[in-house]
Amino acid sequence: MPGTWGIHYIADEIAVGFGRTGRMFANEHAGVAPDLLCLSKGITGGYLPLAVVLTNDSIYDAFYDEYATLKAFLHSHSYTGNPLACAVALEVLAIFQEEQILEGLVSKTMHLASYREMFEALPWVGEFRQLGMIAAIELVKDRETREGFPWEERVGFQIFKKSLEHGALLRPLGNVIYFFPPLTITEEEMDRLADIAHRSVVDVLDS
């Protein structure tokens, strides 16, 4: 049921669902439950394209009745319920249980947090932000004033190119370097990623 105000709450957990923030769904951190929940990406571990929208009974029932009432929710997609993608999604759910992915994230998340110091020691790091298995390193020209690099310099892109040379594919968002690794990443692989990101930032900016 919609909450006190009768307003439906739609949560897009396409990026943050399926353990990314350390809980199965990010809404759990806030102790709330959406009326509509959009999921994709992690639902298949990213291996096949699948997206779903979950809803509660009150919304479902609004579109479900005897045929003669014509209450159906008239929409369709070419590949709705694609069996191959659904099979992969079921396997991902099985892996979450069998390999205790959520439980394993506790130490991995702490490991990711342990990089804060090495990045904050760099003069160009304005902020190191982290939630669960997402970390963002905000690069700035001036740490005191938080003045950013001019966008024309494409500092993030230079660092991306340098990191390829060192053997990692970073995907900066502007001048924010971020880590969004597979939840199955090992701590050794995380170390390698952090080391390459660190080296690439220094290579590009310390010149």
Cα–Cα distance measured from residue 155 to residue 136, given in angstroms and rounded to the nearest whole number: 15
H helix intervals, 114-186: 116-120, 155-166
- Give the N- to C-terminal CA distance of the chain in Å, as an integer: 58
- For ligand PLP, the closer CB: 40 or 109: 40
Type of residue numbered 194:
A
Residue nearest to ligand PLP (CB): 15
Q: Name the minimum Å distance from CB 153 to ligand PLP.
A: 27
Closest of 200, 189, 111 to residue 158, by C-alpha? 200
**Length of the chain in residues, anyone?**
207
Q: Is 18 left (phi over 0), alpha (psi -120 to 50) or beta?
A: left
Q: Name the minimum Å distance from CB 149 to ligand PLP.
A: 25
CB 202 within 8 A of CB 125: no
Q: Name the minimum Å distance from CB 83 to ligand PLP.
A: 18
- For ligand PLP, the closer CB: 53 or 106: 53
Q: Name the minimum Å distance from CB 49 to ligand PLP.
A: 7
Q: Name the minimum Å distance from CB 18 to ligand PLP.
A: 12
- For ligand PLP, the closer CB: 15 or 118: 15
Q: Name the minimum Å distance from CB 3 to ligand PLP.
A: 22
C-alpha torsion sign, points 81, 82, 87, 88: negative
Structure tokens at 171: 């995907």
- For ligand PLP, the closer CB: 64 or 79: 79
Cα–Cα distance measured from residue 10 to residue 38, given in angstroms and rounded to the nearest whole number: 8
- For ligand PLP, the closer CB: 84 or 106: 84
- For ligand PLP, the closer CB: 50 or 168: 50
CB 9 within 8 A of CB 32: yes
Residues at the site binding ligand PLP, with contacts judged by CB under 6 A: 12, 14-15, 40-41, 51
